[in-house]
Amino acid sequence: MKVAVFNTKSYDKEFLCLSNANYHHDLTFFEPHLSLETAPLAAGYPAICVFVNDILDASVLQTLSQQGTKLIALRCAGYNNVDLEAAQSLGMTVVRVPAYSPYAVAEYTVGMMLDLNRKIHRAYSRVREGNFSLEGLLGFDFYGKTVGILGIGKIGAIVCRILNGFGCKVLAFDPYAKPAIQEELDLRLVSKEALFAESDIISLHCPLTPETFHIIDAHSIEQMKPGVMLINTSRGAVIDTRAVIEGLKSGKIGTLGMDVYEEEGDLFFQDLSCQVIKDDVFTRLLTFPNVLITGHQAFFTKEALTHISETTLSNISDIEAGRPCPNQIKAEASYAVAATASSGH
Ligand code: NAI
């Protein structure tokens, strides 16, 4: 099928081209994001392939439909950027990649923990400047520490297994977890309050839903151990960033690792190094020496990108052949499902 690929980065092109050897779609790569201005690029393409920050509102979909596009292939899990009702009323099909690699995200999460604890990123800069002092680089042993995992799904479970290997005691809060998981993963299911009170390290792996929106706020921070390490590789809005800044200023939060940020849509996945960042909350976070922020890269492994490409192209083949596609999104998908999906990417 003829596919217009929007928002193409070098790695998207590389992995889609590699996988396409097995699917033989006719791919054309465009660098710009999809928007009302760039939608005309898709004229004559029955399918388009887009990412999380492309705009697929009713007016963009209307333009695409008038130009002959019938299939929207999302190379991500989230679809909160797609007006599904408009797509349905225009007779357009929307497909996505529901999950890529939980190992990628789990391993990255533990990497953030280790780096923050031993301040490896700071040591790296020091040594390059000829500063071999150890002042300020003191860490702690993970062995014997208590780690609280909020959301013990695919990623949370892998984080738990890795930390079990370090000799950590793992607690988890997940209202939907089955009790059997305790034996399976060698952890203890506890209340949210107990997790906050007992954990030396807290790692967030729940989806963003109305229930988990700002689940880390001033009240929950108040309940945590002084000097707690907080890691968020799930979804930015799970954390109330302003409350976390206060927690860092008071010393209640000892270290913070974030791969996601509430307002990341205006920042991440772009090179803004020659521009002034206007988000004062974000720039305040960057001033703390005990904060590590990365731009939503936890998923970014060869395996995950291979899976994204394979699934995207296979979804397109299914629709082209008129086969049922397990990854097709229907307009009636509930808010909770959409929020869960959008939290992946
Ligand atoms: P999953 O669906 O396997 O697990 C999520 C778990 O959270 C489930 O066990 C669910 O019961 C639990 N949960 C739901 N509501 C909860 C609540 N109110 N409190 C506590 N737990 C709750 O999802 P998976 O694959 O483990 O992904 C977890 C999150 O990781 C995603 O939702 C996404 O936000 C994030 N993610 C981040 C990526 C990155 O690159 N930084 C990439 C992919 C996912």
**pLDDT given for residue 342 in this prediction:** 44
Residue 265 in this model has a pLDDT that exceeds 90 = no
* Residue 334, beta-bridge partner list: none
Provide the CATH number for the domain formed by 2-100+302-339 in this structure: 3.40.50.720
Name the residue among 229, 221, 253, 197 with its Cα closest to residue 118. Answer: 229
- Write the pLDDT tens digit of every residue in 131-189: 999 999 999 999 999 999 999 999 999 999 999 999 999 999 999 999 999 999 999 99
The pocket around ligand 1, CB under 6 angstroms, is made up of 99, 102, 105, 150-156, 173-177, 205-207, 209, 211-212, 233-235, 259-260, 296, 298-299, 340, 343-345
| CATH fold match for the domains 2-100+302-339 and 102-293 | yes
* pTM for this predicted structure: 0.90
Q: Which of 206, 209, 296, 303 to mutate to test the pocket of ligand 1 (most atoms within 8 A of CB)?
A: 206
**pLDDT given for residue 332 in this prediction:** 64
Q: Which residue, by CA, sits nearest to atom 43 of ligand 1? A: 344
Query: Rounded to 5 degrees, what are φ and ψ at 76?
Result: -160, 170
d(CA 341, CA 329): 11
Residue 103 in this model has a pLDDT that exceeds 80 = yes
Give residue limits of the domains in the chain: 2-100+302-339, 102-293
d(CA 218, CA 289): 21
> Which tokens in the block code for residue 269?
């996945």
Under 8 Å between Cβ of 42 and 66 = no
**pLDDT given for residue 45 in this prediction:** 98
**pLDDT given for residue 81 in this prediction:** 85
Which residues, in sequence order, are CB contacts of 234 under 8 Å at separation 6+?
A: 151, 155, 204, 205, 206, 207, 208, 260, 343
d(CA 212, CA 209): 5
d(CA 5, CA 74): 10
Catalytic residue among 235, 262, 310, 345: 235
Q: How confident is the model at residue 33 (pLDDT cuts 50, 70, 90)?
A: very high
- What is the 8-class DSSP label of residue 206? P
Under 8 Å between Cβ of 278 and 314 = no
Question: Which 3 state secondary structure label does DSSP give 105?
Answer: helix
Q: If you average pLDDT over residues 314-319, what whole number do you get?
A: 98
Residue 20 in this model has a pLDDT that exceeds 60 = yes
Under 8 Å between Cβ of 301 and 101 = yes
| Mean pLDDT value across the chain | 94
Query: Rounded to 5 degrees, what are φ and ψ at 253?
Result: -95, 120
The CATH class of the 102-293 domain is alpha beta
Q: If you average pLDDT over residues 285-301, what whole number do you get?
A: 97
**pLDDT given for residue 344 in this prediction:** 54
